[in-house]
Amino acid sequence: MTISVGDKLPSATLIKVGESGPEPVQAADYFAGKKVALFAVPGAFTPTCSAKHLPGFVEKAADLKAKGIDEIVCTSVNDAFVMGAWGKVSEAQDVTLLADGNGEFAQAVGLTMDGSGFGMGTRSQRYSMVINDGVVEQLNVEAPGTFEVSSADHMLGQL
C-alpha cells in the first residue's frame, strides 16, 4: 500500500553518508521533530536525476529553507558509497543523501518500480514529499517517465 498524506513514516533503515563512513538511521526517528523536503530518484548518476532532479534541489535549497524546510533529503536505491560520490560531484552539500541500498524504505512507503528492463532491478519511483515531524504533509509521485511534480520548483509552490 502506498503511503498517503497524513500518514506517519514507517520504520525502515536508511544509510546516511557520514564523515566517518556509512551510518544507519531509522527513518521514523530521523524525520521526527523537523520539517523535511524529501525527494527520491530511481538512481544516482542517471540522466534526469543528475541533470535536473538533484541540481534543482541544490539550486533551490535556500528558497526551501526560507519557506520553513529544516533539511533537504534525497534517497535512492543505491549504496552509501555511490550516494556519497554522487553528492560530491554534484556539489550537493545542502542536501542530505540517504542511501536505500536494499530498497527497504521504498518498499515500506509503497513507492517501488521495476527497473529490470534497464538492468536496474527494483528501484524507487521518482517522487517528493514534505514531511513534518514524521508525518507526510505533501506527496508528489511522478507518472512513469516524467519529471514534473517532484521538482524543487513544484514543492516551493506548495509551501
Residue 49 bears catalytic tag: yes
C-alpha–C-alpha distance, residues 114 and 132, integer Å? 29
Q: Which stretches of 8-151 are DSSP H helices? A: 27-30, 47-48, 54-59, 61-66, 80-89, 104-108
Catalytic member of 49, 95, 131, 155: 49
C-alpha–C-alpha distance, residues 65 and 70, integer Å? 6
**Are 8 and 24 spatial neighbours (Cβ–Cβ below 8 Å)?**
no
Active-site residues: which are they? 49
